[in-house]
């Protein structure tokens, strides 16, 4: 039998034999087979060799000079030599051989006399060797198995993985590793109890897990699933499960085995990242991320929308490509300083869109640092605030500037005045406040229409603008009120100069193109100065206003410096306004009458009704004092209706006494033209109520009332005339209306202002009266001369062909009973 050649080479054999001839024979034989053979003559020599070298097989001749085979075996055991021992003995020593095998020998060979055993030896050796190798392999495998078992056990115990086994038939876990309790807070008993699995699944994931499990049933492959589990404390646990189906064989069904891995953290991180991406992509604010060298790394869609640049156009570039150049280097220096100091900057920047358009963005820039505190990135988040900024600017503009003229409005004026006063106080300088109020603007506005009025105001603003320096403030307070704050004032003389310039500029005609009419207008200017006239802004305003009012009262078209007396007057005006209300009811108002006579024969043909206010405390208040206040407050409307009533009552009385031809002139303020139709309707009501013929009434209007919408005015006056009421143009010569304009109006009388009459008898020219008279006559108007005080005046007027007269020379305005007495005396003035 041929031995297994594959295990022979290099197999080291020790042959112990005292018969040297035999030993040589065996050695040659085995060598030829491929073994390496060492020889020892005695047991002790063998022991020595075995200490030095490893052998796989030891051939032991039973009888040796120093010991027998059994003793050799013992020695080998003591040496813990792993070599297989094969005993060689004679036939008659069978018992010895049996003992040797009991002692651990692997096999034996019997020596026969013919030497046949030499042929047998290799076979025996091969057998022994094979067995020897098998055992070694098995031991090695066993060792390996033990090692990996320990490894896995410790793995399961020391990792966060939960190992488990699940019984699908019973619908419960049969085993879970200890980690399960640590991870979930549920005890291992709970884990393996019935219904645990179903109850602790996250409700939303229940269907998913159930479907997964049933799909597993006969799957051969390992499967994975991610799902959520409720922890004992109610918290959420994300798990990844890896399952394999283990068939139990022959009708025993299957079990599931697998692992659960806690993936909560990575799930949450993933969720966080997903959210961050979502925000990055959908937020309306632009986001730009740059690296440590401030080169653009990433931008979001909103960035592209705001700036016009897509990522590939800006990637790797410096954000300065967005720069508008509107911020100076100091701005950027402070930005970087803030970034370097606080790691953060916030503010507004004007940048440039890809198209070149500027836009404003509200930006916040932050540094992002790495683990060692080095700057890793910059993140800029910005929103387009152009519209917001524009809206804010618009709001600011609307809040501070007058829409019509573009001048600062009352709000801004007050702010500027406040700071001007504060700065004058600090620097010990003077300032002046000018209140400029246009004369009779309201009438122009009402009659010519708002458009024409607006056009006039714009032109006024433009002209005023030419008189002020940049350091001054010209403002429009509203309506026809303008103010000028003059800082760092020189002398009063300079101020007068400025006031005069303003008046002159405004005297030039204005074109109200829409109506095709040029309007002339004047202004009244009141001046108050800091610190002389007021220590604060409110008193300065009050005092400039009072000075302006004084100009109005004394004939307009001029300027006045504030005086203490004006202050008292302003106070008085305020008192008037509040007293008006009850005064009519208390019958404090009276109507006086002044005769108007025919110059040719001295016949009194009518009277003018003039109001008086008999105040219990203040005494007799004259119309020049209260009429402007009544006009301003609107009280004039009620007052003039009261006058109409009183007049009508008197007419009835005069009729009874036979003076049934006497007419009464009633004054109409220019401001009443705003509600003229309404007022006329009231008047006609009163007339018809008392059954008084309209031709007994005359209405006196002023030139100012004639400015504006000619057509409308002509219509209204035409109607008034048609109803029988005659119309007088009062105070003629003081206004600005052109003769051509007057000639187109339906008028019956022209009253020459007393300022012209008073000139008569003094040096100078009187051809103004002459001219007016001839013009009036050419218009079929009669001329009434007012304020005749002297015979000389009377004679002169008669000579000029003036038709009617009125004045102290004949009579002052008197109460109704006094007039009646005059009439009853048969009063004629000749």
Q: Which is nearer to ligand C2E, 191 or 576 (CB)?
A: 576
Q: Tokens 């100078």 label which residue?
A: 764
180 binds, among Ca ion, ligand C2E, none (CB under 5 to 8 A by kind): none
Tell me the three state secondary structure of residue 491.
Answer: coil
Six token digits for residue 647: 């007049």
d(CA 59, CA 125): 9
640 binds, among ligand C2E, Ca ion, none (CB under 5 to 8 A by kind): ligand C2E
553 binds, among ligand C2E, Ca ion, none (CB under 5 to 8 A by kind): none
Residue 628 lies near ligand C2E (rule: CB under 6 A): no
Query: DSSP of 441-483, one letter per residue?
Result: HHHHHHHH-HHHHHHHHHHHHHHHHTTS-TTSEEEEEETTEEE
448 HSE (CA, 13 A, CB side): 29
Residue 622 lies near ligand C2E (rule: CB under 6 A): yes
Phi, psi of 664 (to 5 degrees): -125, 125
Min separation Cβ 637 and ligand C2E, Å: 10
Six token digits for residue 619: 């005494």
Stretch that binds ligand C2E, among 83-91, 156-164, 332-340, 619-627 (CB under 6 A): 619-627
Could you give the C-alpha distances from 231 to 177, 191, 622, in angstroms and in order? 16, 12, 98
Cβ pair 513, 492 in contact under 8 A: no
Phi-psi region of 602 (alpha: psi -120 to 50; beta: other; left: phi over 0): left
Min separation Cβ 633 and ligand C2E, Å: 13
Q: Name the β-bridge partners of 290.
A: 296, 378
Q: Name the β-bridge partners of 163.
A: 259
Six token digits for residue 93: 């020593």
d(CA 143, CA 610): 138
Residues 615-674 that bind Ca ion (CB under 5 A): 667
Residue 454 lies near Ca ion (rule: CB under 5 A): no
| Pairing relationship of beta strands 12-16 and 36-40 according to DSSP bridges | parallel
How many other CB atoms sit within 10 Å of the CB of residue 700? 21
Q: Using CB under 6 A, pick the residue from 789, 790, 814, 815 that binds ligand C2E.
A: 789
Q: Using CB under 6 A, pick the residue from 307, 459, 669, 782 that binds ligand C2E.
A: 669
Q: Using CB under 6 A, pick the residue from 370, 808, 824, 830 that binds ligand C2E.
A: 808
Residue 730 lies near ligand C2E (rule: CB under 6 A): yes
Q: Is 134 exposed, middle or buried (0-12, 13-18, 19+ CB in 10 A)?
A: exposed
669 binds, among Ca ion, ligand C2E, none (CB under 5 to 8 A by kind): ligand C2E
Q: How many residues belong to the site for Ca ion (CB under 5 A)? A: 5
Residue 643 lies near ligand C2E (rule: CB under 6 A): yes
Residue 748 lies near Ca ion (rule: CB under 5 A): no
Q: Which is nearer to Ca ion, 408 or 813 (CB)?
A: 813
Q: Find the length of the chain.
A: 830
d(CA 288, CA 414): 45
Stretch that binds Ca ion, among 125-133, 278-286, 699-707, 796-804 (CB under 5 A): 699-707
Residue 758 lies near Ca ion (rule: CB under 5 A): no
d(CA 25, CA 13): 15
Stretch that binds ligand C2E, among 201-209, 535-543, 665-673, 760-768 (CB under 6 A): 665-673
Min separation Cβ 750 and ligand C2E, Å: 13
Residues 257-276 that bind ligand C2E (CB under 6 A): none
Q: Using CB under 6 A, pick the residue from 313, 481, 731, 818 that binds ligand C2E.
A: 731
Residue 818 lies near Ca ion (rule: CB under 5 A): no
190 binds, among ligand C2E, Ca ion, none (CB under 5 to 8 A by kind): none
Q: Which is nearer to ligand C2E, 300 or 728 (CB)?
A: 728
Min separation Cβ 479 and ligand C2E, Å: 21
Site map 338..367 versus Ca ion, x via CB under 5 A: ------------------------------
Stretch that binds ligand C2E, among 184-192, 261-269, 418-426, 803-811 (CB under 6 A): 803-811
Tell me the three state secondary structure of residue 666.
Answer: strand
Could you give the C-alpha distances from 597 to 346, 513, 654, 728, 773, in angstroms and in order? 85, 43, 17, 15, 17
Six token digits for residue 706: 């004639």
Min separation Cβ 805 and Ca ion, Å: 13
Min separation Cβ 388 and Ca ion, Å: 59
Residue 480 lies near Ca ion (rule: CB under 5 A): no
The residue among 146, 159, 12, 167 whose CA lies nearest residue 84 is 12
Residue 700 lies near Ca ion (rule: CB under 5 A): yes
Min separation Cβ 678 and ligand C2E, Å: 16
| Pairing relationship of beta strands 375-384 and 286-291 according to DSSP bridges | antiparallel
Q: Tokens 């009141």 label which residue?
A: 526
Q: Using CB under 6 A, pick the residue from 667, 704, 737, 782 that binds ligand C2E.
A: 667
Residue least distant from Ca ion (Cβ): 700
Min separation Cβ 666 and ligand C2E, Å: 7
Tell me, rounded to whole angstroms, the distance of Cα 432 from its chain centroid: 40
Residue 755 lies near Ca ion (rule: CB under 5 A): no
Q: Which is nearer to ligand C2E, 422 or 622 (CB)?
A: 622
The residue among 788, 818, 815 whose CA lies nearest residue 803 is 788
What b/e readout covers 471-502, taking b as 16+ CB neighbours within 10 angstroms? Answer: ebbbbbbeebbbbbbbbebeeeeebeebbeeb
d(CA 416, CA 519): 32
The residue among 701, 205, 90 whose CA lies nearest residue 447 is 701
Tell me the three state secondary structure of residue 541.
Answer: helix
Dihedral sign (CA 742, 745, 750, 754): negative
Collect all residues with Cβ–Cβ distance below 8 Å to 830 and sequence separation of at least 6: 601, 602
Q: Which is nearer to ligand C2E, 483 or 806 (CB)?
A: 806
Q: Using CB under 6 A, pick the residue from 542, 813, 816, 822 that binds ligand C2E.
A: 813
Residues 734-763 that bind ligand C2E (CB under 6 A): 754
Stretch that binds ligand C2E, among 31-39, 52-60, 393-401, 807-815 (CB under 6 A): 807-815
Q: How many residues belong to the site for ligand C2E (CB under 6 A)? A: 24
Six token digits for residue 627: 């009429």
Residue 728 lies near ligand C2E (rule: CB under 6 A): no
Q: Which is nearer to ligand C2E, 36 or 755 (CB)?
A: 755
d(CA 537, CA 119): 140
Phi, psi of 804 (to 5 degrees): -130, 160
Q: Which is nearer to ligand C2E, 243 or 596 (CB)?
A: 596
Residue 731 lies near Ca ion (rule: CB under 5 A): yes
Min separation Cβ 647 and Ca ion, Å: 13
Residue 611 lies near ligand C2E (rule: CB under 6 A): yes
Residues 180-209 that bind ligand C2E (CB under 6 A): none
Site map 769..808 versus Ca ion, x via CB under 5 A: -----------------x----------------------
Collect all residues with Cβ–Cβ distance below 8 Å to 564 and sequence separation of at least 6: none
Residue 473 lies near ligand C2E (rule: CB under 6 A): no
Six token digits for residue 29: 């034989």
The residue among 468, 457, 571, 446 whose CA lies nearest residue 523 is 457
Q: Tokens 């994300």 label which residue?
A: 238
Residue 126 lies near ligand C2E (rule: CB under 6 A): no
Min separation Cβ 730 and Ca ion, Å: 4
Catalog residues that contact Ca ion under the rule CB under 5 A: 667, 700, 730-731, 786
Which residues are near ligand C2E by CB under 6 A?
A: 594, 610-611, 622-624, 627, 640, 643, 667-669, 700, 730-731, 754, 786-789, 806-808, 813
């Amino acid at each position: 039998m041929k031995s297994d050649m594959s295990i022979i080479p290099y197999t080291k054999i020790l042959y112990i034999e005292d018969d040297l001839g035999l030993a040589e024979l065996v050695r040659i034989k085995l060598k030829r087979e491929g073994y390496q053979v060492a020889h020892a003559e005695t047991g002790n020599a063998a022991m020595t060799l075995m200490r030095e070298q490893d052998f796989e097989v030891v051939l032991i001749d039973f009888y040796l000079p120093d010991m027998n085979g059994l003793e050799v075996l013992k020695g080998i055991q003591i040496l813990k030599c792993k070599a297989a021992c094969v005993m060689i003995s004679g036939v008659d020593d069978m018992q010895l051989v049996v003992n040797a095998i009991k002692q651990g020998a692997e096999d034996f060979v019997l020596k026969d006399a013919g030497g046949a055993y030499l042929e047998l030896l290799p076979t025996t050796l091969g057998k022994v060797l094979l067995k020897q190798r098998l055992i070694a392999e098995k031991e090695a495998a066993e060792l390996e198995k033990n090692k990996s078992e320990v490894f896995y056990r410790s793995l399961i115990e020391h990792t966060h993985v939960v190992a488990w086994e699940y019984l699908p038939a019973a619908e419960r876990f049969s085993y879970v590793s200890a980690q399960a309790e640590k991870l979930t807070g549920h005890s291992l008993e709970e884990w393996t109890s019935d219904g645990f699995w179903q109850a602790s699944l996250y409700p939303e994931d229940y269907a998913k897990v159930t479907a997964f499990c049933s799909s597993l049933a006969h799957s051969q492959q390992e499967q994975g699933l991610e799902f959520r589990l409720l922890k004992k404390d109610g918290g959420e646990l994300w798990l990844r499960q890896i399952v394999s189906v283990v068939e139990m064989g022959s009708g025993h069904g299957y079990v599931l085995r697998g692992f659960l891995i806690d993936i909560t953290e990575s799930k949450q991180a993933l969720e966080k990242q997903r959210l961050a991406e979502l925000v990055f992509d959908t937020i309306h604010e632009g986001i730009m991320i740059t690296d440590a060298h401030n080169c653009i790394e990433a931008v979001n869609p909103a960035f592209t929308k705001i700036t016009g640049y897509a990522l590939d156009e800006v990637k790797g570039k410096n954000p300065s490509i967005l720069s508008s150049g509107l911020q100076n280097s100091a701005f950027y220096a402070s930005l970087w300083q803030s970034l370097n100091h606080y790691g953060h900057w916030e503010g507004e920047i004007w940048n440039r869109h890809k198209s070149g358009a500027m836009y404003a963005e509200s930006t916040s820039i932050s540094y992002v640092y790495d683990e060692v505190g080095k700057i890793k990135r910059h993140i800029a988040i910005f929103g387009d605030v152009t519209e917001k900024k524009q809206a804010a600017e618009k709001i600011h503009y609307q809040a501070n500037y007058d829409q019509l003229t573009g001048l600062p409005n009352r709000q801004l004026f007050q702010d500027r005045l406040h700071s001007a006063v504060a700065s004058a106080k600090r620097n010990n300088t003077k300032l002046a406040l000018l209140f400029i109020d246009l004369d009779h603007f309201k009438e122009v506005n009402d009659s010519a229409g708002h458009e024409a009025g607006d056009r006039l105001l714009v032109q006024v603003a433009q002209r005023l603008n030419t008189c002020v320096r940049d350091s001054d403030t010209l403002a429009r307070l509203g309506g026809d009120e303008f103010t000028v704050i003059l800082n760092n004032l020189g002398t009063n003389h300079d101020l007068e100069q400025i006031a005069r310039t303003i008046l002159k500029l405004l005297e030039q005609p204005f074109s109200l193109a829409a109506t095709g009419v040029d309007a002339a207008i004047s202004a009244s200017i009141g001046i108050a100065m800091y610190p002389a006239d007021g220590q604060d802004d409110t008193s300065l305003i009050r005092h400039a206003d009072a000075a302006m009012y004084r100009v109005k009262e004394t004939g307009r078209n001029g300027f006045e410096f504030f005086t203490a007396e004006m202050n008292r007057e302003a106070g008085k005006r305020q008192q008037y306004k509040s007293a008006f209300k009850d005064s009519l009811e208390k019958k404090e108002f009276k109507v006086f009458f002044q005769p108007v006579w025919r110059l040719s024969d001295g016949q009194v043909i009518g009277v003018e009704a003039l109001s008086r206010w008999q105040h219990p405390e203040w005494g007799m208040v004259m119309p020049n004092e209260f009429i402007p206040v009544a006009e301003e407050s609107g009280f004039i409307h009620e007052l003039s209706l009261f006058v109409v009533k009183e007049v009508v009552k008197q007419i009835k009385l005069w009729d009874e006494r036979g003076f049934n031809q006497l007419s009464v002139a009633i004054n109409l303020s220019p401001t009443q033209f705003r509600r003229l139709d309404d007022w006329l309707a009231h008047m006609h009501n009163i007339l018809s109520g008392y059954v008084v013929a309209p031709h007994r009434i005359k209405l006196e209007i002023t030139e100012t009332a004639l400015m504006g919408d000619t057509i409308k005015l002509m219509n209204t006056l035409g109607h008034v005339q048609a109803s029988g009421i005659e119309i007088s143009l009062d105070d003629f010569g003081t206004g600005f209306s052109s003769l051509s304009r007057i000639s187109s109006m339906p008028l019956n009388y022209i009253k020459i202002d007393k300022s012209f009459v008073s000139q008569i008898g003094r040096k100078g020219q009187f051809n103004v009266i002459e001219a007016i008279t001839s013009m009036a006559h050419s218009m079929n108007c009669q001329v009434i001369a007012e304020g005749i005080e002297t015979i000389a005046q009377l004679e002169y007027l008669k000579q000029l062909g003036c038709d009617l007269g009125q004045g102290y020379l004949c009579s002052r305005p008197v109460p109704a009973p006094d007039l009646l007495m005059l009439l009853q005396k048969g009063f004629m003035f000749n």
